[in-house]
Amino acid sequence: MHSQRFQWHNDDPDYDGLPLLRSFQFPYLRQQGYVNMRCVWAVGCPNEISLFDDEAVEERGNGITMKSAFKQSFQQLLPDHEIPPTIGVSCCAQFAVTRERIQSRPIEDYVRMREWLLNTPLEDDLTGRIFEYSWHSKTSFRVIMPR
């Protein structure tokens, strides 16, 4: 969770993170290994980024699109994964993950991710979104789409 208690992306009428933590279902986390703290599917789901659609959409001032940045970065960060055709995940990088799920990846993967983050020429807003939309892939080895 983010460090500030009140965030616009907390799924609470007052945007308060405390009720979210009080009602958090730890047995479900233990069962799944990873849980996005965002339950609202209106933002990001079912399809936030179509990676193989027209690149001209979303072009930024510097000519880099989120799609092209995400595809290239995904290959560098998760070389053992195929690039998915679409990314659909609730935003905002608030999630819970078990120790077992974290430790199921070799430490070298996390070192590679950190080094990429420190050395990429991409701007912070892009790198933040790339991580935000791929945490579920970094902490598991499968696509996660609850029913």
pLDDT of 132 reads 82
Spatial contact of 83 and 74, defined as CB atoms under 8 Å apart: yes
User: Which tokens sit at 2?
Assistant: 């983010």
> Model's pTM, two decimal places?
0.72
Max Cα-Cα span within the chain: 45
Which residue, 94, 89, 88, is CA-closest to 10? 94
Beta strands in the chain (DSSP E): 34-36, 49-50, 86-87, 95-97
pLDDT tens digits, one per residue of 71-112: 888 888 888 888 878 777 777 778 889 999 999 889 998 999
Percent of the chain at pLDDT above 70?
76
- What's the average model confidence in pLDDT over 106-131? 91
Distance CA 31, CA 8 (A): 28
Q: What is the mean pLDDT of the chain?
A: 79
pLDDT of 91 reads 72
Q: Indicate the DSSP class of residue 6.
A: B
pLDDT of 28 reads 94
Q: What is the DSSP string of 37-52?
A: S----TTTTTTSEETT
pLDDT tens digits, one per residue of 3-28: 788 887 777 778 888 988 899 999 99
| CA of residue 14 relative to chain centroid, distance | 24
